[in-house]
Amino acid sequence: MDILTERELLSAVENETLIKDGSKESCEGIKYDFILSNMALTVDSGRPRDIDQHNENAVIKPGEIAFVMTKESLDLPGNIYCQLSTKRKLSLDGIIILGGLIIDPNYKGKLIFGLYNLSSRNYPLLPGRKLVAGVFYKVDKESDKLPKSINNFPDDLIKIVVDTKPNSISSISNAIEELRAEMQVIQNQLSHDNSWKKDFQTGLTDITELVKEMGEKLGTEIETRQKEILKLEKEQVNLTTLVMPMAADQRKYQTIKNIFIPIISAIIGGGAVYLIQRFFP
């Protein structure tokens, strides 16, 4: 894909091959600047009119749209198409261009655009003012499609302008104010929701602190109980140490008793027999 150079554009203008009724001054490097013709279709007129012929000061009011036509006509072959771009000056003036930015191969005719005024002041339509810039590309394969040619404002476009009057800047401002009011209501609602969430978060934090405090007290209580249990276990050990010798002495006493009582009994018993035999023969 090749881009037509300035020399090729100058040749196209001079020989009226690609660009008819063009101007050499509009060739800037690889771009050609299409200019505004004297024909315009505005809301006030409701029909196409020749601005120069009627010596009228045609303007686009704030919030309104006008359709304009280029002075030049194109006569593109099947292997060349044109890509358009808006001039920066129009954007700085608050004008938006409505329309296609690609011109297909084989197109023959003028270019028509809608100009929408977003600014707060009137925009004058001055014939000869630069409108869009075009860069021409040469492709390898030719197209056999034949786009519809336009040399005048189409009837359906005129009908749209007559039947439908675009919104004025005041209606747009009213819509913006309504939207702003709705946004304020939403913002207030969000603030209320955030306040509720903040209160809930504060309460949740208090509960968390209370649970933490109860946990700490419970931990202290468990530690105290463990110390008391250890103390009781220690006292039990001491008591066992004290009781065990006594139990051992008790067992020894029982053993002695079991041994000596029979002996004493025998002795006592034997002595009684001896006394009986001696004194009671």
- DSSP codes joined into one string, 112-181: EEEEEE-SSS-EE--TT-EEEEEEEEE-SSPP---PPP-SS--HHHHHHHHH-PPPPHHHHHHHHHHHHH
Residue at 72: amino acid letter = E
- How sure is the predictor about 198, in pLDDT bands with cuts at 50, 70 and 90? confident
The DSSP symbol for 18 reads S
Predicted confidence band at 22 (pLDDT cuts at 50, 70, 90)?
A: very high
195 confidence band (pLDDT: 50, 70, 90): low
Helix (H, G, I), strand (E, B) or coil at 238: helix
Q: What is the mean pLDDT of residues 149-174?
A: 72
DSSP letter string, 72-86: EEEE--TTEEEEEEE
**pLDDT tens digits, residue range 26-74?**
999 999 999 999 999 988 777 888 887 655 678 899 989 999 999 999 9
Which pair of tokens denotes residue 201?
């978060």
Which range is least confidently modeled, 42-56, 115-129, 179-193, 250-264?
Answer: 250-264
Q: What percent of the chain has pLDDT over 90?
A: 42
Q: How far apart are CA 81 and CA 122, in angstroms?
A: 34
Q: What is the dihedral of CA 128, 131, 135, 139, to 10 degrees?
A: -100
Each residue's pLDDT tens digit, 117-137 = 999 999 999 999 999 999 999
Which pLDDT score, from 0 to 100, does residue 189 have?
A: 73
pLDDT of the residue at 254:
65
Supply the pTM of this predicted model.
0.58
The answer to whether residues 87 and 116 touch, using CB atoms and an 8 Å cutoff, is no
Q: What is the pLDDT of residue 268?
A: 52
Name the token pair of 136.
């021409």
DSSP-derived secondary structure letter, 104: P
CATH 2.60.40.1120 fits 2-166, yes or no: no
Q: Assess whether pLDDT exceeds 50 at residue 141.
A: yes
pLDDT at 221: 65
Q: Looking at the predicted structure, is the pLDDT value of residue 267 above 80? A: no
Burial 248-260 (b: 16+ CB within 10 A, else e): eeeeeeeeeeeee
**Residue bearing the bigger pLDDT, 228 or 155:** 155
- Position 276 pLDDT exceeds 50: no
| Residue in the block written with tokens 């675009």 | 166
Task: Give the percent of the chain with pLDDT over 70.
Answer: 67
pLDDT digits (tens, 9 = 90+) for 65-114: 999 999 999 999 999 999 999 888 898 999 999 988 999 999 999 999 99
Is 15 in contact with 8 (CB distance < 8 Å)? no
CA 267, CA 261: separation in Å to the nearest integer? 10
Query: What pLDDT score does 79 carry?
Result: 95
Asked whether the beta carbons of 104 and 42 are under 8 A apart, the reply is no
Would you state the pLDDT for residue 58?
85
Which position has the token pair 């700085």? 92
| In contact, 79 and 48? CB cutoff 8 Å | no
pLDDT on residue 17: 94
Instruction: Give the pLDDT confidence score for residue 242 in this predicted structure.
Output: 60
Give Dmax over CA atoms of the chain in angstroms: 188
Q: What is the mean pLDDT of the chain?
A: 79
Give the C-alpha separation, 151 to 111, whole Å.
Answer: 8
Q: Which residues contact 9 (CB under 8 A, 6 or more apart)?
A: 18, 19, 27, 30, 32, 136
Where are the chain's structural domains?
2-166
d(CA 13, CA 72): 10
